[in-house]
Amino acid sequence: MKTTTIGKYLLDQLYTRGVRHIFGVPGDYVLKMDKLIEEHRIQYVNTTRENTAGYMADAYARMKGLGVACITYGVGVNITNAMAQAYVESSPIVVISGAAGASETHHSPHLHHLINSHRKDERDCTQFEIFRNVSIDQALLDDPDTALDAIDRVLYSCLRFQKPVYIEIPRDMVDKEVTWRQPLAPEAPKSDPVALEEALNEIVNILKSSQKPVLWIGHETQRLGLVQDAFKFAEKYCIPITTSLLGKGAINEHSPLFVGVYQGGISNAVVTQFVDDCDLLISLGVLLSDVNTGIFSAKLNHPHSITANAEQVAIDHHRYQEVNFTDIVKALAQSEYNILFRHPYPTANCKKKNVSKPTTQKITSTLLFNTLQNHLQSDHILVADIGDSLFGCTDLIVEQDAFFACAFFASLGFCVPAAISTQLVAPKKRVIALVGDGAFQMTCTELSTAVRYSIDPIIIVLNNHGYGTERPLLEGAFNDIVNWRYAELPKLLGGGKGVRVQTEAEFDKALTYALAHRGEFQLIEIELDKTDFSPAMQRFSTLVKNKDKKTSDKDL
């Protein structure tokens, strides 16, 4: 009988599912697990904090399909926000935490790092309870007889639902020997074939009766690996494609079918008008969040709609309970209808690169994004933080899987750690991160990890002197922050290069330099006026402000 240990089985299962790096902060309850990772084929990547380890695992998961963070007990709750974001934006991460061994509370429940510990010989479950709120499945590996089954189950849940899972492993269980057995691989429920056929029949009739369909692709299509199928379906019938903001980067935006990002009244006016005017909206994996729908300004009452996502498959106003997202998208990709749409539509990719020479005028958000577009190559990946860093990217044309942002949960500070782990996953590509000064102050020191492992993303700091997104909503000194000398960060960390630019030409030169130099991170601080916003950002602020006003008028 072949044996293994609980810790080793867990790492082997993660490796099998593509995990090559685990992001962690050590601590006494998790040291044995850390040691085991160090000795495994998986590489342990030290991060400076737990929440940034979470962000790094999240970005890793978005790129590679599964990400892992490893923390210690109690202070491990520092990762809660990163889990919440991964939970809401459907990023499959595994959070492993060490914990006290079973016999350790024999003397007293009052062990350091423990939270609600009242009785001897009773395990403190507070961290488990907290994480239950931000994960889809959880396991406490305190029983060798059930540990392997529990590992198989939570990893299945993680990948099936594309949500975080939590695994707590007491330190006396890490090296516990168990009998190895073939991993369990549950199968996801299949659609009822009759219901699926009924749905497909209905879809072909709707397609045949439509003149102006639009395919709206959202992030869940990416997460579940259905983008190629969705794209094949669109290409087959010549259906123009838009994406949600959270789904931006799902497809190669150079495709002639791509019309731009649709966000209701926030989108580029041409896109808004075109999508609002369609007679069939085929929405695949789109979350109808405030951000994705332009604060609910998106038009959703078209003559016909086909909506498929992780929660439901619906046509017009009825649901197909026995049909799931994956099966319907795959069926559409394989369908052979005698249909070809020929309605005119705007193509986003006709946007010509600006070939004029960059000027010495003071840089603005608009000039910044134009310059960036001019430099973008097929081997670049953009990662954006919240605020104008995100909104300004809306109209950039990017390759498939070459853009992501936490465009729904909107946690400031995600971008820098995310850029590091993305660059780690894709060393042959070049990651360009865009981050505002407020967000940068939250997590910039994680670039220490880039220094340690010679990871070399390009970080562009949009220094607009405070929380710019909030100024149009309600202005006050609380929106101001200290004006750091951001380009000095490499001197603190002992690695990386930093430069500060004030004009379009300086930015062009700095970006050219950064792209040409690899091996260490490159930081470019861009000095912006505090009231300078991209057009997309201005549209967003106006909409939010109007909504807030409407809400408060009603409530007061």
Which residue, 198 or 470, has its beta carbon nearer to a second copy? Answer: 470
Are residues 411 and 85 in contact, defined by beta-carbon separation less than 8 angstroms? yes
Residue 101 contacts a second copy per CB under 8 A: yes
What is the CA angle 66-69-70, rounded to 5?
A: 140
CA angle 217, 219, 339 (to 5 degrees): 20
Kindly state whether residue 126 participates in binding a second copy, applying the rule CB under 8 A: yes
Segments of 354-400 assigned E as strands: 380-384
When binding is defined by CB under 8 A, the residue of 209, 377, 483, 512 that contacts a second copy is: 483
CB nearer a second copy, residue 49 or residue 330: 49
If one asks whether residue 556 binds a second copy (CB under 8 A), the answer comes out as yes
Interaction between residue 482 and a second copy (CB under 8 A): yes
Q: Which is nearer to a second copy, 185 or 556 (CB)?
A: 556
Rule CB under 8 A: say whether 17 interacts with a second copy. no
Taking CB under 8 A as the criterion, the residue among 24, 67, 249, 358 binding a second copy is 24
Question: Does the footprint of a second copy cover residue 19 (CB under 8 A)?
Answer: no
Residue number, 108 or 546, with CB nearest to a second copy: 108
Structure tokens at 72: 């210690």
Q: Which of 505, 553, 427, 336 is nearest to 21 (CA)?
A: 427
Told to check if 93 binds a second copy by CB under 8 A, we report: no
* Near a second copy in 206-265, by CB under 8 A: none
Query: Two tokens at 147?
Result: 């540990």
Residue pair 313/297 in contact (Cβ under 8 Å)? The answer is no
CB of 146 to a second copy, least distance (A): 17
User: How many CA within 13 A on the CB side of residue 241?
Assistant: 29
13 binds a second copy, rule: CB under 8 A:
no
Q: By CB under 8 A, name the one of 135, 289, 365, 421 that touches a second copy.
A: 289
Please say which residue, 31 or 426, places its beta carbon nearer to a second copy: 31
- Residue 117 or 371 having the CB closest to a second copy: 117
Residues 493-532 interacting with a second copy (rule: CB under 8 A): 493-495
Instruction: Report, in Å, the least distance between residue 218 CB and a second copy.
Output: 12
Judged by CB, which is closer to a second copy: 410, or 536?
A: 410
Stretch that binds a second copy, among 122-130, 321-329, 334-342, 508-516 (CB under 8 A): 122-130
Say whether 528 sits in a helix, a strand or coil. coil
Q: Least distance from C-beta 342 to a second copy, angstroms?
A: 34
Query: CA dist 338 to 198, 441, 448, Å?
Result: 18, 56, 57
Q: What is the DSSP string of 181-246?
A: -PPP-PPPPPPPHHHHHHHHHHHHHHHHH-SSEEEEE-HHHHHTT-HHHHHHHHHHHT--EEE-ST
Contacts of 342 (CB under 8 A, 6+ apart): 238
Place of tokens 């106006």: 542
The contacts found for 181-187 with CB under 8 angstroms, 24 or more apart, are 181/148, 183/13, 183/16, 183/148, 183/152, 184/149, 184/152, 184/153, 184/156, 185/152, 185/156, 186/152, 186/153, 186/156
Q: Does 538 bind a second copy (CB under 8 A)?
A: no
For the chain, the C-alpha Rg in angstroms (whole number) is: 25
Q: What are phi and psi of 210, to 5 degrees?
A: -90, 155
Q: Which is nearer to a second copy, 164 or 240 (CB)?
A: 164
CB hemisphere CA count around 114 (13 angstroms): 20
408 binds a second copy (CB under 8 A): yes
536 binds a second copy (CB under 8 A): no
What is the per-residue binding string for a second copy in 410-449, x denoting contact by CB under 8 A?
Answer: xxxx---------------------------xx-xx--xx
Among 197, 277, 379, 488, binds a second copy (CB under 8 A): 488
Q: To the nearest whole angstrom, how small is the minimum distance from the Cβ of residue 83 to a second copy?
A: 9
How many other CB atoms are found less than 10 A from the CB of residue 350? 8
Give the one residue of 7, 19, 51, 496 binding a second copy; rule: CB under 8 A: 51
Stretch that binds a second copy, among 77-85, 150-158, 186-194, 420-428 (CB under 8 A): 77-85
Q: Which of 46, 326, 366, 400 binds a second copy (CB under 8 A)?
A: 46
Closest approach, Cβ 494 to a second copy, in A, equals 5
Helix (H) or strand (E) holding 373: helix 365-375
Pairing of strands 67-71, 497-501: unpaired
Binding-residue total with a second copy (CB under 8 A)? 95
Which residue, 344 or 476, is less far from a second copy as judged by CB? 476
Q: Of residues 3, 18, 115, 529, which one binds a second copy by CB under 8 A?
A: 115
In the complex with a second copy, which residue's Cβ is closer, 415 or 489?
Answer: 489
